[in-house]
C-alpha cells in the first residue's frame, strides 16, 4: 500500500482557558496527527483448536505425542508516527511527539498459530466399549502405555480391531476422539523395521570409502523408510550417528551445547514457517522452530531435509552451498531447515553442508 506523505487528523478537543477563549488569543484545542510510516501484521486470538497425534508403536509399548494448533486472524496494521498538536484558533502553538502507534485496518486472511505441545491433558484408550485412562501428557505432550500389560487380553484377543485415542484437554470435562491405532499394524510394522535395520546395518558396517555409489544410494533409501515409520525406535537411533558420519564424511556430529545461536536465522525460519503449508513441515518441527527448541530430533530433521534437497536436486551443488544462496534454494522445507541449522550451528556449518553436497555428487 502506498503511504500518504500528508499527516492525518485523528482527533480534536476544545479546552477552555480563561473561559472558552485563551487570554488575549483564540480558542485552545488539541488534536492528534498521524503520519504513516509502514505496515505490519498482527494476529488475533486463537480459535478452532485442533489436535494431531504422533504414534510410537512397538510390539507391546505405545508412545503417543499430542500437538495442538489453532487458527488466528491475520490483521493488517498501519504504523503511524503520532503527534499531539496544541492549537490556538487555527494556529499550531505546540507539538508533542507521542511515538509510533499501530492502527488496525482489516483482517486480510487466516494463519495457523499457537503450534505447541498439548500439556497436562488426560489421555485414555478405548477398545470396544471399554475405556482405559493411561495418564496425562508431559511437558512435551507425550504419554506412554504398555499395551500388553494395560489392555491384555482385550488387545491381543481382538487383533483386527483398533484402539481409539481419547483426549480431555485442561479445563474441559468431556473426552474427544483425536486418533485411532489399528492393532493389526503393530506386528507388521515391527517385522518391517527389523528387515530395514538389518539391511541398513550391513551397508553402514563398511568404511565410507569402501561403499559403492549404489550402496550409498541404498543407504539413503533405507534410512528414509526407517525414519518415516520408526524414528523413535532404539535400533534406528543407534544407526543415526553412523549414517550421518557417512554423509558428512566426518567422525562425529559436534555438540551444540556451547554454541552461540544465530537468532536472526531463527526469526527468518519462523517467518517462512508462517507462509508454509501446514502439511509441508511436521508439527514437531513447527513447535521446535517457534520455541527455539534444540534437540536430537530437530537436528536430525533439519539435516535430513538438507540431504533430501541435495539428493533430489544435485545440480544445486554445482556452485557450492552458501547461506547467502538459501533464498534461491529449492523447496521451502530446505529453506526452513537450513535457517534452523544456521541458527543452531552458526556460519561455520556452511562448510559441513557444502561437504554433504559434494558427497551427494560423488566428489
* Model pLDDT for residues 305-335, shown as the tens digit of each residue: 999 988 888 777 777 788 877 666 678 888 8
Q: Is the pLDDT of residue 7 over 80?
A: no
Same domain for 275 and 356?
A: yes
End position of a domain, from candidates 213, 248, 283: 248
- State pTM to two decimals: 0.67
- Residue pair 310/357 in contact by the 8 Å Cβ criterion: yes
Alpha helices in 257-295 (DSSP H): 263-275, 283-291
The whole-number pLDDT of residue 268 equals: 87
Q: What is the mean pLDDT of the chain?
A: 81
Q: Is the pLDDT of residue 15 over 50?
A: no
Cell of 250: 566426518
203 vs 271: which has the higher pLDDT: 203
Cβ-based burial of 337 (10 A; exposed 0-12, middle 13-18, buried ≥19): buried
Return d(Cα 363, Cα 355) in angstroms, integer. Answer: 9
- Total tally of structural domains belonging to the chain: 2
Same domain for 239 and 308?
A: no
Q: Which single residue is written with the C-alpha cell 510394522?
A: 189
List all residues 6 or more positions away from 341 whose beta carbon is below 8 Å from its beta carbon. 299, 302, 303, 306, 349, 353
The whole-number pLDDT of residue 198 equals: 95
Same domain for 268 and 352?
A: yes
Same domain for 333 and 296?
A: yes
127 falls within a domain: no
Q: Is the pLDDT of residue 152 over 60?
A: no
296 falls within a domain: yes
Q: Is the pLDDT of residue 345 over 50?
A: yes
* Residue among 284, 311, 317 nearest 298 (CA): 284
185 vs 137: which has the higher pLDDT: 137
- Residue pair 82/36 in contact by the 8 Å Cβ criterion: no
pLDDT in tens, 222-269: 999 999 888 888 889 889 988 998 887 554 455 565 566 888 888 888
7 falls within a domain: no
176 falls within a domain: no
List all residues 6 or more positions away from 78 whose beta carbon is below 8 Å from its beta carbon. 36, 38, 39, 102, 103, 105
End position of a domain, from candidates 195, 219, 248: 248
List all residues 6 or more positions away from 310 whose beta carbon is below 8 Å from its beta carbon. 316, 317, 356, 357, 360
Same domain for 228 and 281?
A: no
279 falls within a domain: yes
308 falls within a domain: yes
103 falls within a domain: no
Average pLDDT of the segment spanning 345-354: 87
Rounded alpha-carbon distances, angstroms, from residue 18 to 23, 25, 101, 326: 6, 10, 33, 67
Helix (H, G, I), strand (E, B) or coil at 174: coil
Return d(Cα 245, Cα 238) in angstroms, integer. Answer: 12
The whole-number pLDDT of residue 250 equals: 54
The whole-number pLDDT of residue 222 equals: 95
Residue-range definition of the domain harbouring residue 336: 263-360
Residue 26 confidence class, pLDDT cut points 50, 70, 90? confident
Residue 176 confidence class, pLDDT cut points 50, 70, 90? very high
Residue 343 confidence class, pLDDT cut points 50, 70, 90? very high
Same domain for 276 and 356?
A: yes
Same domain for 267 and 240?
A: no
The whole-number pLDDT of residue 183 equals: 73
Same domain for 278 and 314?
A: yes
Average pLDDT of the segment spanning 166-179: 91
The whole-number pLDDT of residue 56 equals: 82
- Residue pair 35/81 in contact by the 8 Å Cβ criterion: yes
pLDDT in tens, 76-113: 888 899 999 898 888 888 989 988 888 888 888 888 88
Average pLDDT of the segment spanning 131-136: 89
Q: Is the pLDDT of residue 16 over 90?
A: no
Same domain for 241 and 267?
A: no
Task: Specify which residues 79 forms β-bridges with.
Answer: 38, 102
pLDDT in tens, 55-66: 887 666 778 899
166 falls within a domain: no
Host H or E run for residue 339: helix 332-345
pLDDT in tens, 184-225: 777 778 888 899 999 999 999 998 888 888 898 899 999 999
Q: Is the pLDDT of residue 274 over 90?
A: no
Amino acid at each position: 500500500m502506498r503511504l500518504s506523505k500528508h499527516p492525518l487528523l485523528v482527533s480534536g478537543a476544545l479546552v477552555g482557558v480563561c473561559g472558552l477563549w485563551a487570554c488575549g488569543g483564540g480558542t485552545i484545542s488539541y488534536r492528534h496527527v498521524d503520519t504513516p510510516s509502514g505496515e505490519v501484521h498482527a494476529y488475533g486470538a486463537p480459535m478452532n483448536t485442533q489436535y494431531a497425534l504422533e504414534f510410537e508403536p512397538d510390539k507391546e509399548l505405545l508412545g503417543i505425542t499430542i500437538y495442538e494448533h489453532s487458527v488466528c486472524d491475520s490483521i493488517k496494521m498501519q504504523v503511524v508516527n503520532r503527534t499531539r498538536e496544541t492549537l490556538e484558533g487555527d494556529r499550531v502553538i505546540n507539538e508533542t511527539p507521542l511515538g509510533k502507534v499501530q492502527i488496525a485496518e482489516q483482517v486480510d486472511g487466516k494463519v495457523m498459530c499457537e503450534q505447541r505441545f498439548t500439556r497436562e491433558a488426560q489421555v485414555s484408550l478405548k477398545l470396544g466399549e471399554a475405556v482405559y485412562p493411561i495418564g496425562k501428557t508431559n511437558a512435551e505432550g507425550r504419554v506412554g502405555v504398555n499395551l500388553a500389560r494395560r489392555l491384555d487380553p482385550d488387545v491381543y484377543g481382538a487383533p483386527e480391531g483398533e484402539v481409539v485415542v481419547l483426549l480431555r484437554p485442561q479445563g474441559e470435562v468431556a473426552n474427544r476422539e483425536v486418533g485411532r491405532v489399528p492393532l493389526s499394524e503393530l506386528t507388521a510394522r515391527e517385522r518391517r523395521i527389523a528387515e530395514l535395520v538389518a539391511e541398513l546395518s550391513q551397508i553402514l558396517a563398511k568404511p565410507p570409502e569402501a561403499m559403492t555409489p549404489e550402496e550409498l544410494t541404498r543407504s539413503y533409501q533405507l534410512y528414509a523408510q526407517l525414519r518415516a515409520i520408526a524414528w523413535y525406535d532404539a535400533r534406528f537411533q543407534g544407526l543415526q550417528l553412523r549414517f550421518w558420519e557417512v554423509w558428512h564424511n566426518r567422525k562425529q556430529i559436534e555438540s551444540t551445547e556451547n554454541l552461540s545461536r544465530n537468532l536472526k536465522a531463527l526469526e527468518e525460519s519462523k517467518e517462512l514457517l508462517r507462509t508454509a503449508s501446514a502439511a509441508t513441515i511436521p508439527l514437531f518441527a513447527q513447535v521446535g522452530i517457534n520455541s527455539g527448541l534444540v534437540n536430537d530430533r530437530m537436528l536430525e530433521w533439519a539435516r535430513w531435509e538438507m540431504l533430501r534437497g541435495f539428493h533430489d536436486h544435485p545440480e544445486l551443488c554445482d556452485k557450492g552451498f552458501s547461506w547467502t544462496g538459501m533464498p534461491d534454494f529449492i523447496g521451502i522445507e530446505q529453506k526452513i531447515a537450513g535457517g534452523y541449522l544456521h541458527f543452531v550451528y552458526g556460519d561455520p556449518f556452511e562448510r559441513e553442508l557444502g561437504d554433504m553436497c559434494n558427497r551427494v555428487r560423488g566428489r
